[in-house]
Amino acid sequence: MNKYELAVVVNAQIDDEARTAVVDNCKALVERFGGTVTNVDDWGKKKLAYEIQKMNEGYYYFIQFESDGTGNAEIESRMRIMDNVIRYLCVKQDEA
């Protein structure tokens, strides 16, 4: 099992319940495609480096998980079409 980190920027203009639902959907996607969520790090509301879809702020979440890597392409394709997800990035963590 390899360790991965999924960084997600969520729309800051939605309410807390909707934002929680988006993060829960991200965790469910990871588990659905063979991953095990180990940690969810909530960085809160931050200013974006540049304007995205006429928004200047977003909520940052970092989801660490373990997976064999076979479902990562499917996770990314599902993240691409999720509502209220502004940006996402899935990276493999070093074994250091």
Q: Are 65 and 1 in contact (CB under 8 A)?
A: no
Q: What is the per-residue pLDDT across 32-44, written as a single tens digit (0 to 9) for each?
A: 998 999 999 999 9
Q: What is the per-residue pLDDT across 44-96, written as a single tens digit (0 to 9) for each?
A: 999 999 999 899 999 999 999 999 888 889 999 999 999 899 999 999 998 76
Q: How many whole angstroms separate alpha carbon 4 and alpha carbon 63?
A: 8
Query: Is 0.85 topped by the overall pTM?
Result: yes
Question: Which residue is it, tokens 């079409």?
Answer: 81
For residues 28, 88, 20 and 11, what is the CA-based torsion angle, rounded to 10 degrees? -150
CATH of the domain at 50: 3.30.70.60
Q: Which domain holds residue 14?
A: 2-67
Identify whether 84 is part of a domain.
no
Q: How many whole angstroms separate alpha carbon 50 and alpha carbon 45?
A: 15
Identify whether 58 is part of a domain.
yes
